[in-house]
Structure 1
Amino acid sequence: MRCLFSLLLLAASARAAILTLQSARFIITDAKGEQVRSEPISTTHAAKPIELGKSDTLKLTFQVFDKEEGQGVQPHQTFLRFYDEVSGEEGLQPVRVASNGKAKFELNLAKPPLSLPPTKADTPLKLSLIIGAPSHSPLTVKLPDLLLPASQAPPVHPDEASFHPLPEIHHTFRPDQKLPPRPISAVFTAVVLAPWVVLLGLWSQVSIRVPYIFSPSILPFIATLGAFEGLLFAYWVDLKLGQVLFYGAGLSLATIFTGKNALAAIGSRRTGKGN
């Protein structure tokens, strides 16, 4: 029985905790600070829309009041809601309320808040006040419509194009490499092997026995010539021009040294044979 009585008492106290809005008024001032319009805000009758210029400032004052206790209340949350019925854009602007329930809000169009949605010159914003407190019923008060100048287009970010869909990338592959005709390949093969044919022809004119060619003085020179042929083949298959020049420079020095020794050995052999 005592528990039921406590619940009824709690329900009665919750029902009694009703918030109201008192001393609500708006004031419009121009850029010089002179008052253009000042009217109280009625929560029961529709008022004429509040129209602001580009340099005007809107000052809104009110007090959140507990109707039963007869004193000001500091609610837990208080917001001004801007709503555009045409575009569906809306914004919520928190309002600071003092401990005695009094609040003051200023809207300066020279520095509009970020919560203010984009506006058009002929489309007013619906303005309402939303108040909430844990120990009181929520309160929503419809304020006069707000007619503002058309807002400027937001500046274009330099990286905006990066966030748009880009054209589809189509890969173009090179056609397969075409091999030259066989007769042309045969001609260039003959050109590559021609120095060896000339070398064999010159050897046939020199009275040098085959075992003597493989002597320690002549064989290194023949090996360097074969290395040159292998380097050219490797260049055709895999190597790059810079690598061929680097390796060829080393082979050139070795060829000069071994060739000099080979010529010296052949000259000494001829001289000894003549004696």
Structure 2
Amino acid sequence: MRSTTSSGMFFWALFILAFSSLAAAASGAWIFEDAQAVVAAKGGKADAYKFSPTESIKGAISLGPKDVLKVSLTVKEDSKVGRPHQAFLLVQEPGSKVETFFPLSVKELSGKARVDLSHKDLSPFLLTAPSLLLSLVLGSFGESTASIVTIGNVEPSLDPTSKALLEKQKQKDIGEGTAIYKAKGEIRHIFRVDPQSPPKIITLVFLLSVLVGLGGLFVVWFPILGGNLSHLRQALKAAPISHPIFFASLLSLEGIFFMYYTHWNLFQTLAGMALVGPVVLFSGSRALREVRARREKGER
């Protein structure tokens, strides 16, 4: 029984391994071939270095101030030439992990890719580094696996004068003796202070003046303006809904103004006005229409 169980587990392990290998083979991967790095010196001899996805360049490549490093290769998606969504040369300083990248120009039909690198393309920080690590990054949408392949190391060579100038520029960029990244001081936002209500004495004075004005209006309404309460029953009979609602909506408007003065903000006040305003308009037009009908009959 023990031997049978072990044999069964071994069989299923082989089956899963074979299935995983087939799935990985079906999905494919971004690779390259015919790759080389050529250091071309102006007026000098060019040095060529071969590399592949499984073998990087042995030793370090020297890159002088007038040299141009030309990296060329053929990009493939599994076994067919292709053009990935991302294809770039990654240049990294191994100690600090500071890095930059340069995109490759890839031809869609042939898959031929190329990128040039010289001193003018690198920052003073990278140029003054003792060695730089070159890597090739290929990837795109779809099921094909992206790849990051190490090409080799490049050593920028500088004369003493140029190196001194670059070191000075480097210290100017990052600051001598200070950290490149550090916490900044806390930013405290000071907003405008909320408006304050006027002193109570001023409020009471204006309130008293309004009450006196309303009282005076009611005093002169009957003897001078011709106020008549004898038609109140007739008006409520002709428009039993419009008159009470119109009067209640007017009181509601005054209540909204009071709430705005004491508690509400502008948005709450506008919302209240938007609700009460149409009621005032509709009921007021109906109530005034009834009043006009009585005036046309000569009733005052």
TM-score (norm 1): 0.46
Larger radius of gyration: 1
User: Where is the helix percentage greater, Structure 1 or Structure 2?
Assistant: 2
